[in-house]
Amino acid sequence: MMEEMREAARALYHPLVRKWKEAGKTVIGYPCTFVPEEIIHAAGMLPYRMRGIGTTSLSIGDTYFGPVICSLPKCMLQLAGEHAYGFLDGVIITNGCDSMRRLNECWRKAGEDIPGILPGYFHYFGVPHKAASYSYEWYEEEIRELIKSLEEHFGVKVTEKALRKSIRLYNESRRLLQKLDDLRSGTEARMTGEDALTVILAGSAMPREEYTALLKTLLKDLKKALPIDKGRKRLMLVGSSNDDPEFVRLIEDSGALVVADSLCFGSRSYEDLTNEEGDPVASLSRRYLNQCRCPRMFGCYQDRLSLILDKAEKARVDGVILQNIRFCDLHGSENGIFERDLEARGIPCMRMEREYGPLVETGRIRMRIDAFLERIA
């Protein structure tokens, strides 16, 4: 079961996606947690969170984007340009951040130069940066436009019944992931941070029904598993996109255990549930826009600090690693204030800026982690 999860987390076009495509079904890519997966699922399609894994060059990414841009969207564009995302029938781009929103233009323009890399369905989904009554309304309208465009382009129907069913299913899997968090961060941790990230990543790229079934089995097995935290420092990993389990393994190989996170590809995707009553579109708007875990939601620092403090206390962490991808000023700057405020409360922190992609900086990162673990020993 973990092997299936690993396969889904390690490769873009993994066996479960292949099976889905062979059944003649549609896959829709999206780059950010602010896109409501439930809509895509309710349309009978596979919501697939795009990543930049496996890139060995940025020849295409660097051609269209400028030099001072986050390497995650560059890697995504590189993969698209190499036809690695050829299995996507459609893509939804959002203004998660400025680097990511420019993927819209860069991909479209690259598509004019490299035939066949632009999916037939390419949709822009505008997400407000604040949670106010009118921004919820805006987000609702964006969802309704998304539904309409999916229906028109693919000749499908997103019924209210299907949407309610999708919401229930996603809530169920999110509850299971929350339970997984309990096992991971409890007094006796039963799962490595590397495996936890693998499980979360798998969920962003495989059919939700199968994923939920796998999660149930995994949870049963984990309850019987032996604790693995003895003698290891308990750390929390915070910051911008990390979809690389090997990065977590690098931390854990130094004698630590990542027992909690607040990461873009991590727990942020399942900490909130959608209200299953009332208008489903309105409920989704509340769920997605209310999550203030990403610093793209400006002016909510205190909420994010509280969340991290609660989580750190619950997971009894010995320290926090605050990481960000270079040129991610939103996470990078906020990490600076987190460091000040967490250290003031006696929680040791280490800030780390890194590049997205294959771990070319292994030596530097390991040395810094070793030094941090020595500090908190």
Binding pattern to another protein, positions 30-59, x when CB under 8 A?
------------------------------
Long-range contacts, 72-77 (Cβ 8 Å, 24+): 72/99, 72/100, 72/241, 72/325, 72/356, 73/31, 73/99, 73/100, 73/102, 73/103, 73/106, 75/51, 75/356, 75/357, 76/31, 76/50, 76/51, 76/52, 76/103, 77/103, 77/106, 77/107, 77/110
Q: How far apart are CA 304 and CA 274, in angstroms?
A: 20
Considering only the stretches 11-19, 31-39, 103-111, 211-219, report the one whose residues sit in contact with another protein under the rule CB under 8 A.
Answer: 103-111
Identity of the residue, 90 or 193, whose beta carbon is nearer to another protein in the bound complex: 90
Instruction: Pick from 23, 24, 56, 67 the residue near another protein by CB under 8 A.
Output: 67
- Maximum Cα interatomic distance, the chain, rounded to a whole number of Å: 60
Interacting residues with another protein between 108 and 167 (CB under 8 A): 109, 124, 126, 128-130, 132, 134-135, 138, 141
3-state secondary structure of 334: helix
Identity of the residue, 337 or 360, whose beta carbon is nearer to another protein in the bound complex: 337
Q: How far apart are CA 28 and CA 15, in angstroms?
A: 17
Instruction: Pick from 55, 99, 204, 274 the residue near another protein by CB under 8 A.
Output: 99
Instruction: Pick from 239, 295, 319, 357 the residue near another protein by CB under 8 A.
Output: 295
Instruction: Pick from 78, 95, 166, 291 the residue near another protein by CB under 8 A.
Output: 95
Identity of the residue, 82 or 329, whose beta carbon is nearer to another protein in the bound complex: 329
Identity of the residue, 70 or 163, whose beta carbon is nearer to another protein in the bound complex: 70
CB of 351 to another protein, least distance (A): 8
Q: How far apart are CA 205 and CA 87, in angstroms?
A: 12
Q: How far apart are CA 27 and CA 23, in angstroms?
A: 11
Interacting residues with another protein between 324 and 353 (CB under 8 A): 324, 326-327, 329-330, 332-337, 339-340, 351, 353
CA 270 to chain centre: 10
By the 8 A CB rule, do 264 and 70 touch? no
DSSP string, 166-222: HHHHHHHHHHHHHHHHHHHHSSS--S-HHHHHHHHHHHTSS-HHHHHHHHHHHHHHH
By the 8 A CB rule, do 65 and 77 touch? yes
By the 8 A CB rule, do 40 and 47 touch? yes
CB of 135 to another protein, least distance (A): 7
Binding pattern to another protein, positions 180-219, x when CB under 8 A?
----------------------------------------
CB of 130 to another protein, least distance (A): 5
Size of the site for another protein (CB under 8 A): 49
Task: Answer yes or no whether residue 63 interacts with another protein by CB under 8 A.
Answer: yes
Applying CB under 8 A, which residues contact another protein? 63-70, 95, 97-99, 101-102, 104-106, 109, 124, 126, 128-130, 132, 134-135, 138, 141, 295-296, 298-299, 301-302, 324, 326-327, 329-330, 332-337, 339-340, 351, 353
